A = this chain, B = another copy of it.
Amino acid sequence: MLGKGEFGRIRDYLAPLALDGAFDLTDDAATINPEPGCELVITTDTVVEGVHYIGDEQPEQIASKLLRVNLSDLAAMGGVPRAYTLNMTLPRDVKDAWVKAFCQGLADQQSNFGIGLLGGDSVLSPGPATFSATLFGEVPVGQAIRREGASPGDYIFVSGTIGDGALGLLAAKGKLVALDEVNARLLTERYRTPEPRIALGLALRGNATAGTDISDGLLADISHIADVSNVGAIVELAKVPLSSGGEFALKAEPLLWKNIVTGGDDYELVFTGTENLAEKVKSSRVPITCIGRIIAGDGVQLLNEQKKSLHIDVSGYRHG
């Protein structure tokens, strides 16, 4: 074993991140208690080196994305982030400096989002680095935004711009050759550092009929809403909002529209409600665009500018 070992890593790197109630990570378990009238919202995600991230990222970027991806799930439910636990499975030749930088990345995001570490573990493995984070947020009892609840006639909205996650991954791998340097950097940054839409999630509580975050791909995530709500959906491709990098890339390679609507990793919110929903939640200061409607029936239809159906597999990008 190189370096500090589990106890040393926990003592030196993780314990300083501990929240009240985590007993400085010196106990078997930690305690947490939601505020009166609230319940805890819990979400968890695993990332594997070489599968969910490339491996050439800085350790602090990997830590940042791990938390942000989970925070996006809390945002989608309308949760206020509060705490997290972390499982670090590290390759046997991991250097202490790498772990230290990773934990600095965690610390940065903790102060960004007002969360603290509740507990966790650190083990070595012959396999690639694997991290699981479990995030805890709070919502007033019964007010979590769910995928279920969309009704025919609802409008479909998205926050921010769509496709940057998938295009950013291509850019990071050097596969968008037509792209200029600035747009390549912007897209790569959007892929590496998604922005969890916490404030928007809070504003959507009691206003949206259903919602989720876009992790599997725009159409796949809309189909998740449609499936559990027992409705169908129509999305107009021309209305899907693009970043400047997205527009540039699409102009150079028109077939990239498929990546944009199925690629995933955007971590924007997609949600449904009445026509004036965007107006109701503008306090969150996130750009919101209406991209379609909920209809009776099932499945997701994607329409081109001539309102003709485009055939596309909406199943979304799958890591495995």
Contact = CB atoms under 8 A, between A and B. Distances in A.
B77 A27 contact: yes
Contacts of A32: 39-40, 42
A99 to B, nearest CB: 12
A126 interface: yes
Interface stretch (A85-93, A108-116, A275-283, A301-309): A85-93
A141 B33 contact: yes
26 contacts: A6-B318, A27-B144, A27-B146, A27-B147, A27-B212, A28-B73, A28-B74, A28-B147, A29-B41, A29-B42, A29-B43, A29-B77, A31-B42, A31-B77, A32-B40, A42-B118, A45-B121, A46-B89, A46-B121, A48-B89, A50-B126, A87-B132, A89-B89, A92-B320, A123-B319, A127-B130
Contacts of A125: 48, 51, 127-128, 130, 320
Given A46-B132, A85-B134, A130-B130, A26 B318 contact: no
Interface in A114-146: 118-121, 123-128, 130, 132, 134-135, 137, 139, 141, 144, 146
A29 B79 contact: yes
Contacts of A79: 29
Given A6-B319, A43-B119, A118-B42, A28 B213 contact: yes
Contact of A127 (B52, B74, B126): B126
B130 A29 contact: no
A87 B46 contact: yes
Contact of A28 (B7, B76, B85, B318): B76
Contact of A132 (B30, B132, B141, B319): B132
A195 to B, nearest CB: 16
Interface residues of A, number: 67
A77 B212 CA distance: 35
A224 interface: yes
Most B C-beta atoms less than 10 A away, residue of A33, A123, A227, A319: A123
A5 interface: yes
A127 B124 contact: no
Interface of A: 1, 5-7, 23, 26-34, 39-48, 50-52, 72-74, 76-77, 79, 85, 87, 89-90, 92, 118-121, 123-128, 130, 132, 134-135, 137, 139, 141, 144, 146-148, 212-213, 224, 227-228, 318-320
B77 A5 contact: no
A124 B320 contact: yes
A156 B40 CA distance: 36
A311 to B, nearest CB: 21
A264 to B, nearest CB: 12
Contact of A1 (B73, B77, B89, B318): B318
Given A29-B74, A31-B139, A144-B31, A319 B41 contact: no
Nearest 5 CB-CB pairings of A with B: A127-B127, A124-B320, A29-B43, A33-B39, A28-B73
Contacts of A124: 48, 51, 319-320
